[in-house]
Structure 1
Amino acid sequence: MIETILNYPLSRDRLIDLLSSSGEEEKALFDYSTATKLKNVGNEVYLRGLIELSNICDKDCFYCGIRKSNNNITRFTLKYEEVIESVKYAYEKGYGSIVIQSGERSSRSFSDKIDKIIRESKKITNNNIGITLSCGEQSEETYLRWFESGADRYLLRIETSSEELYKKLHPKDTLHNYTNRRNALELLRKTGYQLGTGVMIGLPFQTTEMLADDLIFMRDLNIDMCGMGPYIEHTKTPLYKFREQLPITTVRLGLALKMISLLRILMPDINIAATTALKVLDQKATEKAIAIGANVIMPNITPLFYRKEYLLYENRSEPLFSFEDELALLEKRLETISHRIGYNKQGNSKHYTKNWSRCIPE
């Protein structure tokens, strides 16, 4: 079966076939992506300490729990000091990188705060902590400012590469524009970031053909990292009324794992995250994703007090133990699939370092 995959070029039609695979063919796919991953990025898993800065968002996306029109949540923004304490914690515990994630805002005060956080984070860690930003669409000037202050990576999820589907997921206005989203990705590439994007898998109205096109889109964009996962519905969003059209959870999980597997084969040396949404569908999904292609995990290190208000989707798993105990448990779970955590390593994309002449730390 592995030879079957090898003998077929991964054309669009073949991607569609493999996304629909099951049984022995699916197993062969996973075996091949596992081998591809181990050959290109090894069995080391990199940590990204996730800090959810704010659930205030200017956008009104139909699928998102922190959308502007959702009046059922309490809005918050972490204090600067709280963010820096979280960065210190991550660095002391051996996290090589952090992720600053936020609702999309573009005010000057927001830009200034992010810039200050970047500069201080680099200062207090002797420039050793890697910084990923996931703060939405910004101006070219803002992207450049943050990059020059020390941000290393930027994750801007396209959510779907299908313009037709994108329009069904967003209001019809200039703030939710498909072309602007794609242009923002090009700006990030031009600026010099390690470029990340991703999609939701198992959406209403989404076809297998669209998912195949998503894979081709990411390959052709030449991304350095990817964060994609299953769509999880939220009761306080317009898209919730289409929940009857959703694939059952096992199908959504299977599709998500096959997307990770196929992207690893298409782009052998990029970083691929095992996203938190996977665990909503299966408590062992993180290990499954790591085994067949993913190599990044993003433990949430946001102060617990704020967690309940940053619900992009519902039924998000919450820690049962302290941050330290959760990390120890993660180590043991990874050992069961012969993987280990790369402590004190930024874990930069090999794809990026190969394609950019500037030297960056491991």
Structure 2
Amino acid sequence: MRELITKLEETGNLNQTEWIALINGRTPKLAEFLFERARAVRHQYYGHDVYIRGLIEFTNYCRNDCYYCGIRCSNASVARYRLTEDEILDCCQTGYRLGFRTFVLQGGEDAWFTDKRMAVLIRAIKTRFPDCALTLSIGEKFRESYKLFHDTGADRYLLRHETYNANHYRMLHPASLSAIRRQKCLFALQETGYQVGSGFMVGSPGQTAEYLAEDMLFLKQLNPHMVGIGPFIPHHATPFAMEKAGTLELTLFMLGLLRLMLPKTLLPSTTALATIHPEGRKMGILAGANVVMPNLSPQENRKNYSLYDNKRCMGDEAAEGLAILTQEMEEIGYHIVTTRGDSLVTIQDHNQELNLKDFTGGNENV
């Protein structure tokens, strides 16, 4: 299997059969070799820098009813909240003092935050903090909405595709949502001019190596500026409450593969990794990741943005724990930097890729 890792590093490409063989054939020794190569590639492009993003979970209302998500609309046990504009700006001010130069507004698909309200909020943040990047993570919208937000000042947009395979997508979501709709949103975001982030869950119910291979083929074509992956972790108030969580081992392996396939992309070491293992954050960085997202949300709200059980939101996961996080990164030879931390993926890189709309991997044409 080492020859497949070497091929991936040299060419950035594997076919579906090779992806499946590599994922199914992984061993601890192979993973060690992979992480060594992933770190070398990461150092080539990004050195030992770790970029920080200030995560602001500004609403836990959501119109969707995704089967894995703790803030799904049918979960009546959630204490719902929405942050006001002043509360959000206070979060940004706190983060700015700490050195954050990217803020991530993340929330459920909350109809109260209309396009007009979002535009006012985006403009307020960019006016107050003009040297900072603003990332949105608020789900599926119309192309016109994406354009309005971008024109108002939003720089980046995170929208994980969750799983490329249409049948698998239907296992995880109600009929009102579709894989193709999700993918079309990603195309619209790219065409609008955002720095785009996508990603998938690892170990979600029903997932196979074949599905993961399709995810990798899709991401190769998309060539996003960022890829966020994390292990599936069940939530007690969802239909998947009794399902097994995704593993640290497979998540780290996929991180390493992503670094070799997309050397210029930004890869976060996610909160979900830190949730399933005390050293998960560090292990993600050592597998090739180069971004962390401490939580800037008000402490009283964090427990209510519970996408999955036992989510870590304090300590080194919190913005106020930045000194702890800095020390942890230094212990493994990395350092936190207080810059915007833009991706090295460029328009030229995208132009070198195949047209996404011609990609036909999986069960449905894109």
CA distance in 1, matches of 2:156, 2:4: 36
Q: CA deviation at 1:124?
A: 1.3
Q: Which residue of 2 aligns with 1:284?
A: 279
CA distance in 1, matches of 2:180, 2:167: 12
Q: Which residue of 2 aligns with 1:35?
A: 40
CA distance in 2, matches of 1:322, 1:16: 33
TM-score, with structure 2 as normaliser: 0.90
Q: CA deviation at 1:281?
A: 1.0
Q: Which residue of 2 aligns with 1:60?
A: 65
Deviations 1:202-226 (Å, cap 9, x if unpaired)?
Answer: 0111001211211111111121111
Q: CA deviation at 1:75?
A: 0.9
SS in structure 1 at match of 2:268: strand
CA distance in 1, matches of 2:264, 2:317: 33
Verify: 1:45 aligned to 2:50, yes or no.
yes
Q: 1:352 aligns with which of 346, 351, 363?
A: 346
Q: 1:315 aligns with which of 310, 325, 334?
A: 310
8 Å CA contact retained: 1:46, 1:96: no
> Superposition pairs for residues 100-111 of structure 1, below 5 Å?
100-106=105-111, 109-111=113-115
Q: Which residue of 1 aligns with 2:189?
A: 188
- Change in 2 beyond 3 A, CA 1:10/1:314: same
8 Å CA contact retained: 1:134, 1:154: yes
Verify: 1:151 aligned to 2:154, yes or no.
yes
8 Å CA contact retained: 1:37, 1:292: no
8 Å CA contact retained: 1:215, 1:259: no
Deviations 1:130-162 (Å, cap 9, x if unpaired)?
Answer: 111000011111100110111110001111011
CA distance in 2, matches of 1:48, 1:54: 18
8 Å CA contact retained: 1:106, 1:138: no
CA distance in 1, matches of 2:29, 2:61: 46
8 Å CA contact retained: 1:18, 1:26: no
Q: CA deviation at 1:36?
A: 0.9
TM-score, with structure 1 as normaliser: 0.91
- Change in 2 beyond 3 A, CA 1:353/1:299: farther
> Superposition pairs for residues 208-357 of structure 1, below 5 Å?
208-241=209-242, 243=243, 246=244, 252-320=247-315, 326-343=321-338, 345-352=339-346, 355=349
What is the number of equivalent residue pairs in this alignment? 346
Q: 2:143 aligns with which of 134, 140, 143?
A: 140
In structure 2, give the amino acid aligned to 1:75.
R
Q: CA deviation at 1:7?
A: 4.5
Stretches (4+) displaced over 6 A = none
CA distance in 2, matches of 1:137, 1:326: 32
CA distance in 2, matches of 1:221, 1:163: 17
CA distance in 1, matches of 2:216, 2:237: 30
In structure 2, give the amino acid aligned to 1:306.
N
Q: Cα RMSD over matched residues?
A: 2.0
Q: Percent identity?
A: 36
Q: CA deviation at 1:320?
A: 4.0
Structure 2 residue runs of 5 or longer lacking an equivalent are: 352-366
8 Å CA contact retained: 1:157, 1:199: yes
